[in-house]
């Protein structure tokens, strides 16, 4: 008996003695987990949640809307001045697409804020809906492919491309509108006007060397993850190009020619019923603005400069964009 009482006491004693170890061990484990969590950048304070759409707020009686915030399954990664805003707005007319309106610039300028911060920016989606965002500068950001791959290797990537010469002029037009005292287009485009040497360090020129940038992306993503949208066809045949985009995203072809009309004043296709509105709407004044007149010889020289890069790009993508 005594032995068994001793045994019981011993067992109890063992438990009692074991307790301080357990009570120290658990906080240590929690602390360790927390530090590991912080090291991965996940414990930073979250930004305010993305604003809900009015109809979501109403449906939830003024509280946070239904659905959940997810990482985008598809991103419009480029190119600047390619027609990325038009594509995003056309996609938003699809009920299964929820897209962030502003450009988050997460994978180029805001990566240190962490993936949770990024996800929290996204609009809420319901089952069957996809989340999207567009930031055209990702296409020329060295680190972007790796960062997006680390978020999800299944991310679908859309690139809207446009004749690199027209794209460069469009880019210059935008800079000029913000700063009217900048040098002329030709002064910036050439290193030496008399020899016709192009200045490839000027971003308006560099962005248009699509083959070089695509090469960087192909180190991480196979070609099957990309869709290349023709910026020219997005203007001349928006419904046709949108058909390809919806197929690529695995969506029903809901956005069709019935959604568009050509606005003569704007000189561009516009949506009959944009997202959240029953009235027709064209893109803003900064989209589709007149370009300054550039000398024919300057355009020709640039066209020559881009030709080999364009050929390489057609070869890489298996698509002839008809710029040459
Ligand atoms: N439907 C429609 N309406 C208006 N504009 C249209 C449309 N479709 C394509 N585009 C072309 O989009 C060009 C701007 O491209 P982005 O939206 O990619 O520019 S940005 O990088 O986001 O600043 C813009 O370039 P600019 O013409 O130089 O202004 C347009 O040519």
Q: In what order do the strands lie in the sheet with 156-161?
A: 97-99, 130-134, 74-78, 156-161, 226-230
Q: In terms of Cα–Cα distance, which of 134, 52, 91, 99 is closest to 274?
A: 91
Q: ipTM value of the model?
A: 0.99
Q: Is 81 a catalytic residue?
A: yes
Please, what are the domains in the chain?
67-317 (3.40.50.300)
- State the helix-helix crossing angle for 84-92 and 238-248, rounded to 10 degrees: 70
User: Which protein residue has the closest C-alpha to ligand 1 atom 12?
Assistant: 83
User: Which protein residue has the closest C-alpha to ligand 1 atom 23?
Assistant: 81
What gap in Å lies between CA 164 and CA 77, rounded to an integer? 16
User: Which protein residue has the closest C-alpha to ligand 1 atom 25?
Assistant: 288
Residues of the chain with pLDDT under 50: 1-63
pLDDT in tens, 58-110: 333 334 678 999 999 999 999 999 999 999 999 999 999 999 999 999 999 99
**Ligand 1 residue neighbourhood (C-beta within 6 Å):** 80-86, 136, 170, 173, 234-235, 268-269, 283, 287-289
Alpha-carbon dihedral of residues 201, 145, 106, 50, nearest 10 degrees?
Answer: 140
pLDDT of residue 33: 41
pTM of the model: 0.83
Q: How far does the centroid of ligand 1 lie from the alpha carbon of residue 95, in Å?
A: 23
Instruction: Name the active-site residue from 80, 81, 156, 225.
Output: 81
Q: How far does the centroid of ligand 1 lie from the alpha carbon of residue 199, in Å?
A: 24
């Amino acid at each position: 008996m005594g032995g068994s009482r001793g045994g019981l006491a011993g067992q109890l004693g063992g438990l009692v003695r074991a307790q301080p170890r357990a009570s120290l061990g658990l906080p240590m484990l929690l602390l360790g987990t927390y530090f590991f969590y912080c090291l991965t950048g996940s414990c930073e304070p979250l930004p305010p949640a993305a604003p809900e759409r009015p109809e979501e707020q109403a449906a939830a009686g003024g509280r946070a809307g239904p659905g959940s915030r997810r990482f985008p399954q598809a991103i419009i990664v480029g190119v600047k001045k390619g027609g990325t805003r038009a594509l995003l707005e056309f996609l938003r007319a699809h009920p299964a697409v929820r897209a962030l309106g502003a450009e988050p610039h997460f994978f180029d300028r805001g990566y240190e804020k962490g993936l949770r911060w990024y996800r929290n920016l996204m609009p809420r989606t319901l089952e069957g809906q996809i989340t999207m965002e567009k930031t055209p500068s990702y296409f020329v950001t060295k680190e972007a492919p790796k960062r997006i791959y680390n978020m999800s290797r299944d991310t679908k990537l859309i690139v809207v491309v446009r004749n690199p010469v027209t794209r460069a002029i469009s880019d210059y037009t935008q800079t000029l509108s913000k700063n009217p005292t900048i040098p002329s287009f030709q002064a910036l485009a050439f290193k030496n006007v008399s020899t016709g040497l192009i200045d490839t360090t000027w971003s308006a020129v560099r962005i248009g060397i699509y083959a070089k940038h695509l090469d960087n992306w192909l180190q991480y993503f196979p070609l099957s993850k990309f869709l290349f949208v023709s910026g020219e066809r997005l203007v001349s045949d928006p419904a046709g190009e949108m058909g390809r985009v919806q197929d690529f995203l695995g969506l029903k072809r809901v956005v069709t020619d019935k959604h568009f009309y050509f606005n003569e004043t704007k000189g561009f296709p516009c949506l009959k019923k944009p997202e959240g509105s029953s009235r027709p709407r064209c893109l803003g004044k900064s989209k589709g603005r007149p370009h300054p007149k550039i000398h024919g010889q300057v355009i020709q020289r640039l066209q020559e400069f881009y030709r080999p890069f364009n050929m390489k790009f057609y070869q890489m993508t298996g698509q002839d964009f008809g710029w040459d």
